[in-house]
């Protein structure tokens, strides 16, 4: 099987293209079928997201371009900076994966989050678009443990 594993310059021409959703673009090992029907594999550093337009080569120099496929997402919007901050706080408390743009919070469709954000006052619409969430504060290999207490400490 052809395995694409070496990152190459974005200027290189690709012989093959594959369109993948976010959760596949972060896997370390992935079996794929390119858009033109080639069975192949991708090997990359686990947790290191392949972004739209990234290119990988195989041992013989063939180039694969990775594209971010459209996904079913919710887009919550507000022009109010305080409301936007409150919404980010509440979503962060739920540890949801989100893509943050100016005035917009994008996440994979979740009716509970939709309802919560609408109740806060944000406008929520559904869309199909590529999804590329923020990297978490601990994404560089540090596992975040939830063994700590959320209780306030008095000194």
In 3-state terms, what secondary structure has residue 4? strand
Q: What is the pLDDT averaged over residues 50-54?
A: 94
Residue pair 98/106 in contact by the 8 Å Cβ criterion = yes
Let me know if domain 70-130 sits in CATH 3.30.70.790: yes
Check residues 70 and 1 and name the one with the higher pLDDT.
70
What's the pLDDT tens digit per position in 35-46?
999 999 999 987
Domain-by-domain residue ranges, the chain?
2-68, 70-130
pLDDT at 155 over 80: no
Grade residue 1 by pLDDT with cuts at 50, 70 and 90. confident
pLDDT at 114 over 70: yes
Tell the CATH superfamily of the 2-68 domain.
Urease metallochaperone UreE, N-terminal domain (2.60.260.20)
pLDDT at 136 over 90: no
């Amino acid at each position: 099987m052809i395995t694409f594993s070496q990152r190459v310059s974005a200027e290189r021409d690709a012989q093959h293209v594959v369109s993948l959703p976010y959760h596949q673009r972060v896997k370390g090992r992935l079996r794929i079928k390119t858009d033109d029907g080639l069975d192949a594999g991708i090997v990359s550093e686990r947790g290191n997201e392949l972004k739209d337009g990234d290119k990988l080569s195989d041992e013989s120099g063939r180039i694969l371009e990775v594209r971010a496929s459209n996904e079913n997402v919710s887009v919550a919007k507000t022009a109010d900076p305080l409301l936007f901050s409150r919404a980010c706080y509440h979503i962060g408390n739920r540890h949801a994966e989100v893509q943050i743009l100016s005035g917009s919070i994008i996440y994979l469709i979740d009716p509970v989050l939709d309802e919560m954000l609408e109740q806060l006052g944000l406008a929520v619409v559904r869309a199909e678009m590529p999804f590329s969430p923020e990297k978490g504060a601990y994404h560089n290999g540090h596992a975040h443990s939830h063994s700590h207490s959320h209780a306030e400490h008095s000194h």
